[in-house]
Amino acid sequence: MTNNGLPSAFAGRVAHDTITGKPVNAPDHPEFSVGRPARPTRRRFNLIAGSCLTVIILSIVWMLITPFVVEGHSSAILYSAMSNAKQLALGALMYADDADDHLPRANLWMDSLKPYVPKPTLVYPSDFEIRAGPAKVEPEKPRPTEKVSGVFRSTGLKNRDVFGFAFRRQLSGRALPSIADRSRVALIFDSTNTGWNANGGLELLPNPGRYEKRGSSRVNIVAFADGYAKALTPGSLNIK
């Protein structure tokens, strides 16, 4: 112990009040209290302030990049649908090559194009479904279940049980050489009729369009009789 009653470990030390900053030389001051360290008030404040600043910075960064993330997702959906429509149009042209230059019938066009588009996925029953047969009976070898090729579906529709493309009814069974200016004649297009083998005229085009496109109003996908596909606004003058 020192002469002023402080423990010898604190000899020569002078405490300062954390509020006033004035020297304090009292045995009961927190700085001289054995086993009771001073509260790290300033360190705790700095930690909280740093955490708040980090949250604010992350929020600002997210606000800045969100439009680009949404735009990228919309563009991916648009170009995927355009790819599907183009594959269907090319499938119709390949069908015509095998059918004496005649396009498929409008009321059976999806059925007719199945051999000319990417093959659908074959899904086998799971092992659980195979084991679920009668006890002590060897189950039969499961047969694959055919799924419809994804190219028949318009990616702009959230419901995966519908399709969304229609065939131009005026071109049903039409001979390709009789179609003038095929690059402007719509063959397969986005449609409000989303059923299998949907067909009709251009009045079936959704209005407003089904997809968002940067720098323009909403658009629809149209595949032409020459095998190319484009994203066009409803009522576009580029369609015949």
DSSP class per residue in 101-137:
TBPPPGGGHHHHHGGGSPPPPEEPPPHHHHHTSSTT-
175: DSSP letter: B
In 3D space, the residue among 85, 95, 23, 70 whose CA is nearest the CA of residue 212 turns out to be 70
Give me 235's structure tokens: 């009522």
- Count CA atoms closer than 13 A to 91's CA, side-chain side: 23
User: Which long-range contacts link 179-184 to residues 24+ away (Cβ below 8 Å)?
Assistant: 179/225, 181/240, 182/224, 182/225, 182/226, 183/224, 183/225, 183/226, 183/228, 184/224, 184/238, 184/239, 184/240
Q: Looking at per-residue confidence, does 47 or 131 come out higher?
A: 47
In 3D space, the residue among 134, 163, 133, 156 whose CA is nearest the CA of residue 221 turns out to be 156
Give yes or no for residue 14 having a pLDDT over 90.
no
Contact 29, 14 (CB under 8 A): no
Mean pLDDT across 37-42: 56
Predicted confidence band of residue 234 (pLDDT cuts 50, 70, 90): confident
Contact 62, 202 (CB under 8 A): no
How many Å apart are CA 139 and CA 135, to the nearest integer?
10
The whole-chain average pLDDT of the chain stands at: 75
Q: Where are the beta strands (DSSP E) in 17-175?
A: 23-24, 122-123, 145-146, 165-168
Domain assignments of the chain as residue spans, ordered by start: 85-232
Which helix (H) or strand (E) segment holds residue 221: the answer is strand 220-224
Residue 92: the pLDDT is 96
Predicted confidence band of residue 142 (pLDDT cuts 50, 70, 90): very low
Q: Looking at per-residue confidence, does 227 or 161 come out higher?
A: 227
In 3D space, the residue among 201, 211, 208, 209 whose CA is nearest the CA of residue 239 turns out to be 201
Mean pLDDT across 152-163: 82
Predicted confidence band of residue 132 (pLDDT cuts 50, 70, 90): very low
Residue 77: the pLDDT is 85
**pTM for this entry:** 0.62
Mean pLDDT across 96-120: 92
Residue 98: the pLDDT is 95
In 3D space, the residue among 170, 167, 234 whose CA is nearest the CA of residue 206 turns out to be 234
In 3D space, the residue among 62, 60, 63, 67 whose CA is nearest the CA of residue 214 turns out to be 67
Using one digit for the tens of pLDDT, what is the confidence trace for 162-204? 899 999 999 999 999 999 999 999 999 999 999 999 999 999 9
Give yes or no for residue 9 having a pLDDT over 70.
no
In 3D space, the residue among 184, 179, 173, 182 whose CA is nearest the CA of residue 106 turns out to be 173
In 3D space, the residue among 233, 203, 204 whose CA is nearest the CA of residue 220 turns out to be 233
Residue 111: the pLDDT is 92
How many Å apart are CA 74 and CA 10, to the nearest integer?
69
